Amino acid sequence: MAVLVNKDTTLLVQGMTGAQGSLHTRACAAYGTQVVAGVTPGKGGETFDGIPVFNTVAEGVEATGANASMIFVPPPFAADAIMEAADAGIGVIVCITEGIPVVDMVKAVDYVAARDAVLIGPNCPGIITPEQCKIGIMPGYIHKAGTVGVVSRSGTLTYEAVWQLTQLGLGQSTCIGIGGDPVNGTSFVECLSWFEEDPDTEGVVMIGEIGGEAEEEAALFAKAYMTKPIVGFIAGRTAPPGRRMGHAGAIISGGHGTAKEKVQVMEEAGIHIVPTPDLIGQRMKELLKG
């Protein structure tokens, strides 16, 4: 099994004919994802690599039955693109765009939630179920089908963890990059609940970073509900308070959201914290063998 996306997922790409949209549409299609439609206003009726292009998401869904969307729309318009996808009945919306205004995302997140859709991102690498479906910008070749779920706020650290797991012979069930913005669509808690419910996921890698309380909330959920081992890592341990490090959401403010606080709460919840990212794969291998 898999979480959220699989070989039966049919993908519509918003902003497909732009530079980044076209590049990653081709990569997703080459991986084996069923890319069935694209949306670029004003280019309806055209095709891209044999994929039909529509003026609106609603037209694309009606014509192809697409059930997932990948968004490469510029920041000023990306929140509207998210809401358009939800309004058209898309169930899984993956927004890659970085730099969307926070006030726009607050509105978009509420809009998506009211329609029972799942939003991954923004400012994220996407989601992949290895050897079945890739929706995003991650390098497909580093992934291997298996039983370890991965969820992360950092794209590059996701790739690092995945490559370690693959090299150690541990495949992944699904890998989800939730993004590092202050307001995003999918939380650690939701991802952990999906992995807990998935019978083919045996362990979970969770990669967090400084800022916010998402990791602490996930730790409390894990303590109460998770039966599967979790390996955790928190990035940004040396970041000074008040200075943003990398992601917009990675900032320690008011003395809260520090790496020390997160690590303490996670360890108290039974999550196996590693001090450096190069130990993620090995620790998971030890836990699954034990």
Positions marked catalytic: 247
φ/ψ of 28, rounded to 5, equals: -65, -45
CB burial of residue 169 (10 Å; 0-12, 13-18, 19+) = exposed
CB burial of residue 131 (10 Å; 0-12, 13-18, 19+) = middle
Decide if 122 contacts 179 (C-beta within 8 A): yes
For residue 273, list its beta bridge partners.
232
Q: Which of 24, 21, 50 is closest to 36 using CA atoms?
A: 50
For residue 51, list its beta bridge partners.
48
Determine the Cα angle at 121 with ends 64 and 5, to 5°.
Answer: 45
- Chain-centroid distance, C-alpha 166: 19
